[in-house]
Structure 1
Amino acid sequence: MKRLPLCLALAATVAFAASAMAEELVIGTNGKPGNPRVTAAQLFGSLVEQWSGGKYTVKVAHSATLGDDRQMLKSVRLGTMEMTVNSDGPVAEIVADLNAFGLPYLFTSLPQAWQVLDGEIGKSIAAQLDGKGYVLLAWWDNGLRKITHVSKPITSPADIEGMKIRTPQSQVTIDAFQALGANPAPLAFSELPAALQSGVFEGQENPLANIYSSKLHELTPYIAKSNHKYEMAPILASKRWWDKLSKEDQDLIQQAMDAATWYNRGVFLISDAELEQKLKDEGAQFSEVDTQAFKDATAGVYAKWEEELGDIVPRIQEAASNAAQ
């Protein structure tokens, strides 16, 4: 049997040793393959692996394989998972001020929401998360949301009166749909397709990126362009893990996350028009809604949450108004 030349054998040995010594970082998400949260996490992983020279490898645990959002948040807090691409509802259970971002019709565009997230209010929430055992690495996007129904188009609040609709684990979203006369109930995103197939719900609400990547339009083909609320996807790291890193490694990971953040946001920004056509080609039927009627029906949600949260509600309304100018 031929022997490898000594230089090749040494190179193979060094490469194997480097691979064996690489530290694996795990970033968990409930997103399905093809979802912008997953593709952005994969980009982040590639950048970390390249820029660290192989010191780190990154495993993207998608499709809630390591638990739902609440379970992943617990794992991150305990330090058994390094990072999670989470949903704002469960994170708002940790820092209540985050609920304000989910108020109905607060934002009319994605860049408007980003400006507020990247400003003083977003920094204040990040500081509160730090005190709870989390390091906020980024605010990724989860889009402006649409309502889907299994059997009929939706154009006004009357069309969803009594509707059994799945919402994310977000109390402010539940409040908004109760104000609209629907019958909302929260459910983990990973369990949604099965619940729709079994008839537990008549519909759900999500951005087009989530609807398309999870094939929810095959179950609820009527899509109302309601844009009733905005959601972000906070990227949280374990403070226990983060504080053990060198400043150099923290900077490397943060720079990779910053690059992946603008990719994620860019995909959401340009995807709606493209996805609308794809969804139509696959049988989805879109409807416009009476936006003012939806706004009027949900106006009382602001009063409830201002009573609960205090001045964060008028402050975020002012910040959103300033960002829109």
Structure 2
Amino acid sequence: MNKKLLSLFLTMLSVIILLAACSDDSSNTSTDSSGEEDQGTTTLRLAENQPEDYPTTIGDKEFARLVEEKTDGRYKIDVYAGGQLGDEVSSIEQVQLGSIDLARVNATPLTQFNDQIGVLSMPYLFKSEEEKWQKLNGEVGQELLQTFEGTSLVGLSFYDSGERAFYNSDHPVKTPEDLEGLKIRVQQSDVAISVVEALGASASPMAYEEVYSGLQTGVIDGAENNFPSYYTTNHYEVAPYYTVNGYSGTPEVLIASQQVWDTLSEEDQTAFREAALESVEVQREAWAELTEEAKEAVIEGGAELTEVDDLSEWREAVQPVYDEYADQYGDWIDKLSE
């Protein structure tokens, strides 16, 4: 190739590279019909460890839809369900670092990052489900979400995770006395251990995946969880006595990265908060449907349900737990239960 052709070739190559660079720079912008430039859409990632059709995922997707609507398409949220972005603790850590933008996690693992949120694990904290959601969706709930300040996390709203109750393989449980002497599997949580021991049972922390075999072999006598988990794990097959008394209802929390939050305008922050709060209704409806389906399925599968209408003696039995955590949670307990 002679020098003239080589020079022409290099010139054309330079033009092509320049055009490609300009194209890349404008990939996030577009021009609308009026000829005005649109700044494009910012896409955020939301971590969810439950399946696509699970109530929390349904809530996430409603939140994402509302954010896109309220910001006129300037923000889009992709929901990564099924633990694609990691388990709950890993997701929280990544949200802190800003490598994940948002996540839906339970309040229990969040206590590692914000101990005040642990008040929501206290037993029989609310007198009714109606009162619970009035508080969590109201002024006190928003105040509790503000306690994430300084953790590099931003609390947006609470989601329903149902009511946890006791079940066992031995006999029906109607009163706290009926739990005495039973070995009950609990989460690795100080509050959960204190509750079970206050009720006269023996608390046995155990990995979740080992509970079925533990119940089957008699290593433990019982466990505690909500109806959907009781059903999907098949625990009702080996522990058919379920006490419907909802001793704990630790909610889920929708969180955002502080790094992302600080890039939002005040108007967009308001839009995100409104979207999160408005999505709660859809999420709770999905949870109620799943709970009812699971309840019917375990009854059909042979489970015996014991309904407890008066919780006064159960609340009295766990008073030592409130005494134990009075210094840590006292102010919040007053605000949430008054």
Residue in 2 that maps onto 1:40: 59
Q: Please, which of 113, 137, 140 is the counterpart of residue 94 of structure 1?
A: 113
Q: Within 1, Cα distance between the matches of 2:254 and 2:235?
A: 25
Q: Of 177, 184, 195, which residue of structure 1 is paired with 2:210? A: 195
Letter paired with 2:244? K
Give the equivalent residue in structure 1 for 2:260: 241
* 8 Å contact from structure 2 (residues 185, 223) kept in 1: yes
Q: Residue 58 of structure 1: which of 73, 78, 89 is its match? A: 78
Q: Whole-Å Cα distance in 2 between the matches of residues 55 and 124 of structure 1?
A: 26
Distance 1:237 1:162, change over 3 A: farther
Of structures 1 and 2, the larger Rg is shown by: 2
TM-aligned CA distance change 1:287 to 1:88, over 3 Å: same
State whether residues 85 and 233 of structure 1, in contact with CA within 8 Å, keep that contact through their aligned partners in structure 2.
Answer: yes
Judging changes above 3 Å, is the alpha-carbon distance between structure 1 residues 57 and 314 closer, same or farther for their aligned structure 2 residues? closer
The partner residue of 1:156 within 175, 196, 199 is 175
Q: Deviations over 1:102-154 (max 9, x none)?
A: 32222132220122223443233222202211111111112222212245432
Q: Which aligned pairs between 1:1-325 and structure 2 lie closer than 5 A?
A: 24-48=43-67, 53=73, 56-62=76-82, 64-186=83-205, 192=208, 194-199=209-214, 201-213=220-232, 215-218=234-237, 220-247=239-266, 249-268=268-287, 272-273=291-292, 275-289=294-308, 291-318=311-338
Q: Is the 8 A contact 1:46 1:58 kept in 2?
A: no
> What's the CA shift for 1:55?
5.3
Q: Would the aligned equivalents of 1:26 and 1:61 in 2 still touch at CA under 8 Å?
A: no
Q: Matched residue of 1:311: which SS?
A: helix
Decide which moves more: 296-305 or 197-206. 197-206
The separation in 2 between residues aligned to 1:86 and 1:241, in whole angstroms, is 18
CA distance in 2, matches of 1:119, 1:101: 15
Measured against aligned partners, the alpha-carbon deviations of 1:237-257 in whole angstroms (never above 9, x if no partner) come to 111122123445444433432
Asked if 1 retains the 8 angstrom alpha-carbon contact of 2:212 and 2:233, the reply is no
Write the distance in 1 (CA, Å) between the matches of 2:53 and 2:178.
32
Instruction: Name structure 1 gaps, 5 residues minimum.
Output: 1-16, 319-325
Give the share of equivalent positions with the same residue, in percent.
Answer: 28
TM-score normalized with structure 1 length = 0.77
- Taking the aligned partners of 2:119 and 2:232, their CA distance within structure 1 comes to 27
Does the 8 Å contact 1:95/1:125 carry over to 2? no
1:205 match: secondary structure? strand
Q: In structure 2, what residue type is equivalent to 1:262?
A: E
Could you report, residue by residue, the CA deviation over 1:67-98 in whole angstroms, capped at 9, with x for unpaired residues? 43322221211112222221122223333332
| One-letter code aligned to 1:198 | S
**Could you give the per-residue CA deviations for residues 25-84 of structure 1, whole angstroms, max 9, x where no partner exists?**
33223434543212222333344456654852412323x454433222212111122222
Per chain length, whose mean CA-contact separation is higher, i.e. which structure has more relative contact order (CA < 8 Å, sep 6+)?
A: 1
Q: Compared with structure 1, are the counterparts of its residues 277 and 251 closer, same or farther at alpha carbon in structure 2 (3 Å cutoff)?
A: same
**Partner SS for 1:74:** helix
The CA RMSD over aligned residues, in Å, is 3.2
The CA deviation string for residues 144-194 of structure 1, in whole angstroms up to 9 with x for no partner, is 22212245432233443343433345432221112112233556xxx52x2
Greater mean deviation of Cα atoms: 134-143 or 258-267: 258-267
Q: Matched residues in 2 for 1:271 and 1:137: separation?
A: 24
Q: Structure 1 residues 206, 28: CA separation in 2 closer, same or farther (over 3 Å shift)? A: farther
Distance in structure 1 (CA, Å) of the matches to 2:64 and 2:290:
22
Unpaired segments of 5 or more residues in structure 2?
A: 1-26, 29-39
What is the distance in 2 between the residues matched to 1:277 and 1:27?
32
Q: How many equivalent residue pairs?
A: 297
Q: 1:256/1:214 Cα in 2 relative to 1: closer, same or farther (>3 Å)?
A: farther
Between the aligned partners of 1:211 and 1:22, the Cα distance in structure 2 is 42
Determine the C-alpha separation between the residues in 1 that align with 2:198 and 2:191. 11
Contact 2:125 2:333 in 1 (8 A): no
Identify which range, 95-104 or 44-53, moves more after superposition: 44-53
2:145·2:157 contact (CA, 8 Å) conserved in 1?
A: no
Tell me how far apart the structure 1 counterparts of residues 317 and 79 of structure 2 sit (CA, whole Å). Answer: 44
